Amino acid sequence: MADAPRPRRAVTLRRRLVLVLATVVLAVTVALAVASTAGLRSQLVDRLDGDLDQASQALSRGPARPPAGDEAPVPPRPDDGTPPAFPPGLSPGSVVVRYLDGEPVLADHVTTSLDREDLDDGQVAELLAVPADGRAHDVQLGGLGSFRAVHRTTDDGQPVVVAASTSTVDATVRSYVLVETALGVAAVLAAVVVGAWLVRRSLRPLDGVADAARQVSELELSRGAIGTIPRVPENLTDERTEVGQVGAALNRMLQNVETSLQARHDSETQVRGFVADASHELRTPLTSIRGYAELVHRSAEELPPTAARSLDRIESEAVRMTALVEDLLLLARLDAGRRLDRAAVDLAALAVGAVMDAHVAGPDHTWTLHLPDGPADAAGDLLVTGDEARLQQVLANLLANARTHTPAGTHVDVRLGRTGDAVRLTVTDDGPGIPAELRGTLFRRFTRGDTARNRAGGSTGLGLAIAESIVAAHDGSIDVRSATTGEPGPAGTTFTVCLPHHPGRCRFLQDGGAPVG
């Protein structure tokens, strides 16, 4: 299986802006450097070409053979070996080739130390190969380097070639390029430093907007009364700026959210009030129905079999409806924040009684209870502060859930223990497990594993919701771990309840659900 591609590293907006600024500065600097370098080289070469043109014109206008008694501009080389006069106006590094009567009378190179060196035949041939059009051309002389050369012809048809080395031009251009490079690097570094400071300062208001959004994200908005939601500060909501537009839009959104949540809470409060009132009002007629049914049963008159069966159904359904009404009334009271009784509760005693009741209600299941080993006074470790009746209901609902949704022969294990500053209760069964699609909504109201609505084949879907509400009212937590056949690990379900000795001391860890203080 091919490895999944690694996610690209996120680049912050600050870094992107600084990078763009540095790139722009670098591009402008390079463009200016290239243009200025090209202009400088062109100017230097034009000046060199002008000097060569003047020197070549001066040599080409002189007569090839001067009249008697006159001094020749370029006399032939004397017999004593003294070199002829070099044309004036040429800098060191220049080269001159002058012919007279078809013979070279001057083919010298002036070095930078003002020494004159003879040109070899190959170098002379390279100079004579330059087009004789009176314009400067580039030529590469072997052993001497790069030159600009002008080739002319005198009035009597003799070739004259004047060349100047471009080493000075190249050295000047190189120095200029080095300076431009140093300035460019300094400009880019300055752009990065100053740009980072400016961008950080310009985007600092975004941090305030992000802080406001972060505070809102940490609020518990899923349930309960909604207070005032934090807003973006007024100084960050000026819509004349981009950040102000974002801050103002976020404030408008938060106002809409707050209004919607408040409307939802008001609606839920009305629904809870209605459920509580309706449940309370239904208790009286249901009690009357059960009372009349029992009264008919105690009557001396014998009922027909059909009427007796109908009366039994009326009584059983009245019992079922009474339990449902009690559950709804309890949830409504818990949602309304009704205070529970607070007293020392021995969870060990509650667990013993709950397991005994479950054994009577489900004799086709195997029930076991495990309490901590230790001295008799260790039982105090299983004491919590809470409402005994409601905590007993939590145990009863968890065991009833295991009995109702597992087949006969299922083993149900109940364990109590102390972990840190909390008491841990687990109810584990080796049944078929809970389907994955139900685990996320298991503690919601009216969530059922089947569509049946009778006590024998299904449930109302309120048992776990009541258990979760009661545990939350005791500052505890409840968690479920389940696996079905085909999933990793053995099939089965484990409900874990954590109840603190003191409020606010119980939570579940992400790795394993172990309660801690």
CATH of the domain at 280: 1.10.287.130
CATH code, 445:
3.30.565.10
Residue 353 in this model has a pLDDT that exceeds 80: yes
Residue 458 in this model has a pLDDT that exceeds 60: no
Residues 356-387 as b or e (16 or more Cβ within 10 Å = b): ebbbeebeebebebebeeeeeeebeebbbbbb
Residue 354 in this model has a pLDDT that exceeds 80: yes
Q: Give the N- to C-terminal CA distance of the chain in Å, as an integer.
A: 44
- Over residues 326-330, the mean pLDDT reads 74
Residues 352 and 424 in one domain: yes
Measure the CA–CA gap between 414 and 393, rounded to whole angstroms.
Answer: 15
Distance of CA 388 to the CA centre of its chain: 48
| Domain membership flag for residue 467 | yes
Residues 321 and 365 in one domain: no
Residues 274 and 321 in one domain: yes
| Domain membership flag for residue 326 | yes
Name which of 129-133, 172-176, 330-334, 481-485 the model is least confident about.
Answer: 330-334
Q: Where are the beta strands (DSSP E) in 33-102?
A: 95-100
Residues 497 and 383 in one domain: yes
Domain end, chosen from 315, 338, 361, is at 338
Residue 183 Cα distances to 29, 34, 99, angstroms: 9, 13, 50
| Domain membership flag for residue 133 | no
Residues in the chain: 517
Q: Is 497 helix (H, G, I), strand (E, B) or coil?
A: strand
List 369's β-bridge partners, or say none. Answer: 414
pLDDT at res. 74: 42
Residues 227 and 357 in one domain: no
> pLDDT of 105-143, one tens digit each?
777 777 766 667 778 878 888 888 888 888 888 888 888
Residue at 138: amino acid letter:
D
Is residue 394 within 8 A of residue 495, CB to CB? The reply is no
Residues 389 and 468 in one domain: yes
Name which of 155-164, 179-188, 318-327, 340-349 the model is least confident about.
Answer: 318-327
Confidence at 517, pLDDT banded by 50, 70, 90:
very low
What the block records as the tokens of 194 is 């100053």
What the block records as the tokens of 350 is 């509650």
pLDDT at res. 88: 57
Is residue 76 within 8 A of residue 84, CB to CB? The reply is yes
Confidence at 411, pLDDT banded by 50, 70, 90:
very high
List 426's β-bridge partners, or say none. Answer: 415, 496
- Say which residue the tokens 């976020």 belong to: 250
Residue 259 in this model has a pLDDT that exceeds 50: yes
> pLDDT of 420-440, one tens digit each?
778 889 999 888 888 877 777
Q: Where are the beta strands (DSSP E) in 31-168?
A: 95-100, 103-110, 116-118, 136-141, 145-153, 159-165
Residue 2 in this model has a pLDDT that exceeds 70: no
Q: Which domain holds residue 488?
A: 343-516
> pLDDT of 286-317, one tens digit each?
778 878 777 777 777 777 788 878 877 887 78
| Domain membership flag for residue 44 | no
Residues 275 and 317 in one domain: yes
Residue 145 in this model has a pLDDT that exceeds 70: yes
| Domain membership flag for residue 424 | yes
What the block records as the tokens of 45 is 């070469």
| Domain membership flag for residue 136 | no
Mean pLDDT score of the chain, rounded to an integer?
76
DSSP string covering 425-465 = EEEEE-SS---HHHHTTTTSTT--SSS--STTT---S-HHH
Pairing of strands 136-141, 492-500: unpaired
- The alpha-carbon radius of gyration of the chain (Å, integer) is 51
Report the domain count for the chain: 2
Domain end, chosen from 309, 338, 367, is at 338
Name which of 12-16, 175-179, 256-260, 511-515 the model is least confident about.
Answer: 511-515
Q: Is 257 exposed, middle or buried (0-12, 13-18, 19+ CB in 10 A)?
A: middle
Is residue 86 within 8 A of residue 116, CB to CB? The reply is yes
Confidence at 262, pLDDT banded by 50, 70, 90:
confident
Residues 370 and 480 in one domain: yes
Distance of CA 139 to the CA centre of its chain: 61
| Domain membership flag for residue 17 | no
Which DSSP category does 10 fall into?
A: P
| Domain membership flag for residue 472 | yes
Confidence at 348, pLDDT banded by 50, 70, 90:
confident
Residues 351 and 298 in one domain: no
Residues 414 and 334 in one domain: no
Q: Is 386 helix (H, G, I), strand (E, B) or coil?
A: strand
Residues 488 and 394 in one domain: yes
Is residue 469 within 8 A of residue 334, CB to CB? The reply is yes
Residues 391 and 281 in one domain: no
- Over residues 34-49, the mean pLDDT reads 88
Domain end, chosen from 289, 305, 338, is at 338
